[in-house]
Amino acid sequence: MKQFDIPLLYKSSFISRIKNSRKINDPKKKDFTPALLDFGPIKFYIARHFGFCYGVENAIDISNRIINENPGKNIFLLSEMIHNPGVNNDLLSRGVQFLMDTSGKRIYNWDRLTKDDIVIIPAFGTTLEIESELKNKGLDPYKFNTTCPFVEKVWNRSTQLGNQAYTIIIHGQYNHEETRATFSHSAKIAPSLIIRDFNEAESLCSFILDESKEKEFYQFFKDKLSPGFDFSNDLKRMGVVNQTTMLASETDSIAELLKKTLSIKYGVAEIQDHLADTKDTLCYATNDNQESTYGLSNVNADFAVVVGGYNSSNTTHIVELLDQKFRTYFISSADKILSPNTISHFDINSKKEIRTNGFIHEIEPIHIILTSGASCPDAVVDLVLRKIISFFPRVKDMDLVLKEFE
């Protein structure tokens, strides 16, 4: 596995040792049970996999080298590098400017860009239209490119599907940067359609089985279809790819539902001609994090804390999974833990930050699940753990806990 140069401010002497110990004892990643850290009055269940994935480390490594090697130059990021406020604020503090926000709205005057400027493509990738616009300004969109290799893998598979006359079904959030990029690439070579979740997949299947609903189909998937999408012909052969941060299990379920639907319409014996096998496009890191979250759901805990950017898709899915069983607090940093009694956390339903009182009860020992999204530095998780520990005067020394674990 490639080694990346990650700034020290993102690393943690405590959390990183826990993760490294798990890697040594389980190099093939077969054990998804959480690590138990016993501090006496408080016990933490730490997920088997969490924090920076390959794509995030790759993007940070490349970005830092670009900044270090180009002093005095105007350096721009197309949009947020990753969905983590700490990482993005660090880049801003070093003089990097953002050209767009996460929705694609331009926050910098592109007419001021020159061929001598540096524009970094973020880990999510970008659209062909933006690539073309940068080229027209004399900027090479591939020279400073941090697109995740697993996102590019999805694009390559989409090209293969298109060349084999398959329609590309993209499981993703329509306004997410990665999905916009994937849709742009796939729509160039094949009919393409975006579905948000399993419910939208069910609606798609109802349209496939009832051809009289053509008008409703175009209304339902308005703005989620490639130009010229043909209801009569483009739903006969399909392949499912995904936004790499979506739930892998949901992508699998969507593909299985389409398989059943197309089997009904065309016969089981003909299914291979109508649905491509695209399981190889699922991101291993997202899958590992999600399997680790399922591992956490098997423990008995008082509540869960998930750390990450509020606009992070993969972190939100972790929150959704844990919230099915535990009181789950989604926070962006240790600063959100205001006191032993009060926590400020993001509610994924209302899309607002709210405050909850009495989140840590007084009966000891207290069992807490702790994990993070793929774009969250270990150092931030470490600070959250230390902040909670600081509320308990009789906890074990952290070095002793490490020795007992290792």
Give 385's pLDDT tier (boundaries 50, 70, 90): very high
- pLDDT at residue number 376: 95
Reported pTM: 0.90
Q: Is 249 exposed, middle or buried (0-12, 13-18, 19+ CB in 10 A)?
A: middle
pLDDT of residue 373 exceeding 90, the answer is yes
| Average pLDDT over every residue of 356-365 | 88
For the stretch 22-76, pLDDT in tens is 999 999 888 999 999 999 999 999 999 999 999 999 999 999 999 999 999 999 9
Number of Cα atoms under 13 Å in the Cβ half of residue 89: 8
Residue with tokens 């767009």: 100
Asked, as a colleague might, if the bond just before 365 is cis with ω within 30 of 0, I would say yes
CA dihedral of residues 381, 384, 389, 391 (deg, nearest 10): 180
- pLDDT at residue number 286: 83
Residue with tokens 């998937």: 221
Residue with tokens 């860009």: 113
Query: What DSSP string runs through 50-91?
Result: -S--HHHHHHHHHHHHHHHH-TTS-EEESS-SSS-HHHHHHH
| Average pLDDT over every residue of 225-241 | 96
- pLDDT at residue number 329: 98
For the stretch 6-29, pLDDT in tens is 999 999 989 999 999 999 999 988
Domains in the chain with CATH codes:
8-53+285-405 (3.40.1010.20), 54-136 (3.40.50.11270), 149-282 (3.40.1010.20)
- pLDDT at residue number 364: 87
CA angle, 18 then 150 then 244, to 5°? 80
| Average pLDDT over every residue of 167-185 | 96
- pLDDT at residue number 1: 62
Q: In what order do the strands lie in the sheet with 328-331?
A: 35-38, 42-46, 366-372, 303-307, 328-331
* Catalytically annotated residues: 178
Supply φ then ψ for residue 347, to 5 degrees: -95, 115
- pLDDT at residue number 28: 86
CB contact at 8 A, 197 and 224: no
CB contact at 8 A, 133 and 139: no
- pLDDT at residue number 111: 95
